Amino acid sequence: MKRDWKLARAVILMGVFFAGCFTVLAQNQKDNGAIASRTAEAGGIKLHYLTAGHGPVVILLHGYAETSRMWRPLIPQLAEKYTVIAPDLPGIGDSEIPKDGLDMKSAAIRIHDLSKSLGITKSRVVGHDIGLMVAYAYAAQFPAETEKLVLMDAFLPGVKGWEPIYNSPDYWHFRFHGPTPEALVKGREDIYFAYFWNDLAADKNHSLPEADRQAYVAAYSKPGRMRAGWGYFAAWPQTAKDFEELSRTKLTMPVLSIGGDKSLGVPLGEQAKLVATNVQVIVISNAGHWILEEQPRETMDALLKFL
């Protein structure tokens, strides 16, 4: 009888022990996937960023007509293996509007300042649209701290092949900024952004979800935010000069160029090979500019495999 009681007690204790282990494991998995919203001082301004996970660092840089919100479907998957940092670019979303430096090179320096403030010394950098340009400027200025680079569907100003894209009438919005455009768009932000989300997609009925559209319209409709976003467009002539100089030194870290077959996937891949020595090019079928939203599974699989 005494022996049976000892055996039963041992079984109970083992059950409690393993239950505790599973609870801790479940909590850790929950914490890894949980997305936290934070703010930090960097480069003289406050930068808002999303973060999750543990491990090597991945920095995600959003594009125009979006904010760090675009990465929310991807972050939990990355957070299983990586520490994810997804900032709002300076002047966009909930990041402070700087008094100067709304350009790719300056934005990259501020993102680097954010990295340093968080104790990050090495990272893998991913950028979409204008975030691609900031990501390239980051890697080109801080190559020893950039382990891998992902360029997602846009182009590199100042690098051979950029002028036909910049001068294309399909991209009239590159030069649409200033007081008069600002007055025309005010109160009609949803109409203005619908052009991006619909016309730049392979299928205008299969692009960004309505909830995301509303969130982005609200973000860019706040005082000074449309002007700040346009600051990146206005800076392109200077960015072209900056990138022409930066591209003279080729990147040596692994680079992934990924874009839509109905957008800039092919020309971006050609440009990537001009600025880096170790390039993988992926062109997503049946996708326009919004590859993460239009073809999420293919895009996420490619990113996860490369990173």
In three-state form (DSSP H/G/I as H, E/B as E, the rest C), the secondary structure along 238-266 is HHHHHHHHHCCCCECCCEEEEEECCCCHH
pLDDT of 7 above 90: no
By the 8 A CB rule, do 63 and 129 touch?
Answer: yes
- 125-179 pLDDT, tens digit per residue, is 999 999 999 999 999 999 999 999 999 999 999 999 999 999 999 899 999 999 9
pLDDT top residue among 154 and 8: 154
- 242-257 pLDDT, tens digit per residue, is 999 999 999 999 999 9
Work out the burial of residue 25: count CB atoms within 10 Å of its CB; fewer than 13 is exposed, 13-18 middle, 19 or more buried: exposed
pLDDT (0 to 100) of residue 148: 98
The percent of residues in the chain predicted with pLDDT above 90, rounded, is 88
* Pairing of β 36-42 and β 45-52: antiparallel
The dihedral region occupied by 141, where left means phi > 0, alpha psi between -120 and 50, and beta the remainder, is alpha
- What phi, psi does 80 have (nearest 5°)? -65, -25
5-9, Cβ contacts within 8 angstroms, sequence gap of 24 or more: none
